[in-house]
Amino acid sequence: MSLKIAIQPDEVIHPNGKRQSFSKRWTELAEARDIEVVPVDVFRCDAVARISTCDAFMWRYSSSAHPLLYVQRLLHAV
């Protein structure tokens, strides 16, 4: 049985201009261990359906108001 992980892509641009992406690193680690990665856009209408086909879901979300409210609703649904 192989594992399948849904990952919400992320990229943060810091004030110094440096880019950081947890999802890229998670994808690299998963693929190195033969874990299938399913990219998921949580703001699309098919997000819950895509996540439900996976064994796990990873998302590093922003703590700003809009994503935080959405996160709470989505995680309850999942």
Taking only the tens place, the pLDDT of each residue in 2-43 is 899 999 999 888 899 999 999 999 999 999 999 999 999 988
Nearest Cα to Cα of residue 21 among 34, 10, 5: 10
Beta-carbon-side half-sphere exposure of residue 56 (alpha carbons within 13 Å): 13
Single-letter residue type at 24: K
Please enumerate, as own/partner, the contacts of 27-33 that have beta carbons within 8 Å and a separation of 24 or more. Answer: 30/5
Residue 1 has pLDDT above 60, yes or no: no
Residue with tokens 């700003």: 64
* All structural domains of the chain with their residue ranges: 4-77
Average pLDDT of the segment spanning 45-58: 93
Extract the tokens encoding 47. Answer: 């997000």
Q: What is the value of pTM for the model shown? A: 0.79
